[in-house]
């Protein structure tokens, strides 16, 4: 996990904009997006679904990625994950 200050200064390698889709859309988009970046890259998922941040956290724990945390934005969440496998 990263602190809020660390997340605010972080620049992701890829942004997955899944705003406007309901569960499980953002999770599926994150999974697809993750395969397009090299190991060690950071992806940032944008989602308006309130369950996404917990879903991405659970998915990261299950699959073995590093879940960094969430920043609230205007009307959506910015969820940060590092690809580890």
Partner 1 sequence: MSDVLNLVLFSGTADKLHAAATLAAGAAAMERPVNVLVQYWALDAFRSSRIESDLGLSFDATVEGTKRPVKGTKSIAWLEAFRMAKELGEMTIYACTGSMDTLGIDFASLDPIVDAEAGVATFLMAAGDGQIVFI
List interacting residues with partner 1 (CB under 8 A).
Answer: 20-25, 27-28, 30-32, 49, 55, 58-59, 62-63
Shortest spacing between CB 45 and partner 1, in angstroms: 12
* Beta carbon of residue 54, minimum distance to partner 1 (angstroms, whole number): 12
* Identity of the residue, 11 or 85, whose beta carbon is nearer to partner 1 in the bound complex: 85
Q: Judged by CB, which is closer to partner 1: 1, or 61?
A: 61
What is the distance of C-alpha 19 from the center of its chain?
Answer: 12
Q: Which of 22, 23, 61, 63 is catalytic?
A: 23
Enumerate the β-bridge partners of residue 66.
Answer: 82
* Residue 11 is a catalytic residue: no
State CA 58 to chain mean position distance. Answer: 11
Helix pair angle (25-34, 52-63), 10° resolution = 40
Classify the C-alpha dihedral 2-60-74-36 as positive or negative: positive
């Amino acid at each position: 996990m990263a602190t809020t200050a660390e997340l605010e200064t972080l620049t992701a390698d890829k942004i997955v904009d899944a705003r406007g889709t309901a569960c499980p859309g953002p999770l599926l988009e994150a999974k697809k997006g993750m395969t397009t970046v090299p190991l060690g890259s950071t992806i940032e998922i944008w989602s308006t679904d309130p369950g996404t941040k917990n879903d991405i956290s659970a998915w990261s724990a299950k699959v073995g990625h590093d879940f960094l945390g969430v920043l609230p934005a205007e009307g959506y969440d910015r969820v940060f994950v590092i690809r580890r496998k």
